[in-house]
Structure 1
Amino acid sequence: MSVTAQDALIHLMIIAASADMHVTETEIGRIDGLVSRLPVFEGYDRSRLTSVANGAVDLVNANGLEGALEQLLRSIPERLHDTAYALAVEVTAVDLLLEQEELRFLELLRDHLDLDRLVTAAIERAARARLRRVQ
């Protein structure tokens, strides 16, 4: 299976959102917002979002989480690995409460992406700062 880098990034966000077995409307809204405004998704046909999201679920069901990650990361250039991690963090952190399953998924993704621990810590801290509310 070969997917575009953009589709692979969306697959990762969907998998991240479903890591705790419960995808919220807030997570779906965040994914839609990220796809609509980030430069990495420039030119992406947002009408495909639902079918691509369903494809992410099918991919995990067919190959397991490890197999799905291996396939998806082959489609994402190394220069976008930190972007892939940042997108996954953004989706999981949207409610400012990370469940144990989400933390395990992020750790697994970090290991597969082979990102420096300081880089991932900075990405995680930036997401918390961006998503924090006054009240």
Structure 2
Amino acid sequence: MTSTINPQTALIYVMVTMAAVDASMSDKELRKIGNITAALPAFDEFSQEKLLPVAQECAAILQEEDGLATVLGLAKEALSPNMRETAYAMAADVAVADLKVGAEEQRLLEIIRNTLGVDRLVAVAIERGAQARHQTA
């Protein structure tokens, strides 16, 4: 069985979902998504010109009934188990990009963790690492 989206698209879907959870995507969150897709090995074969169309596609799905479940289901289907932890890490980085993690973002991290099957202890370590990377002096 083949997935309907590729792994890079799935990773972007997870990040866009996190950025959109509080009904406003901050510039810092959008920059973080752009930086992640430009720098990490998971996106070596990804054309940056596709980022905006993929993000818009995700936003359109999220507007549909059961959009969140659809987006996360597509992501789970497209990602291997080890890449699901990578997706969670990217979501955590986007969540802390604007230096505040609200209740909506915490709840979405929990939903992503449960949907993707990321171990709770692994998730806590990932979240703590994201917080440490985004501290200011």
Superposed pair shares fold, TM > 0.5: yes
TM-score (norm 2): 0.93
Instruction: Answer yes or no: is the 8 Å Cα contact 2:62–2:68 preserved in 1.
Output: yes
Post-superposition offset of 1:64: 2.0
Secondary structure, aligned partner of 1:80:
helix
Distance 2:4 2:124 in 1: 30
Post-superposition offset of 1:21: 0.6
Post-superposition offset of 1:43: 1.8
- Aligned partner of 1:85 in structure 2 is 88
Query: How high is the sequence identity, in percent, across the aligned residues?
Result: 33
TM-score (norm 1): 0.95
Post-superposition offset of 1:121: 0.5
Moved more, 53-62 or 85-94: 53-62
1:38 to 37, 40, 43: 40
- Aligned partner of 2:111 in structure 1 is 108
Structure 2 gap segments, 5+ residues each: none
Backbone CA RMSD of aligned residues: 1.1
Map 1:16-95 onto structure 2 (within 5 A): 16-62=18-64, 63-95=66-98
Distance 1:4 1:81 in 2: 13
Post-superposition offset of 1:67: 2.3
Structure 1 gap segments, 5+ residues each: none
Instruction: Answer yes or no: is the 8 Å Cα contact 2:33–2:94 preserved in 1.
Output: yes
Post-superposition offset of 1:30: 0.6
Post-superposition offset of 1:55: 0.5
Post-superposition offset of 1:72: 2.0
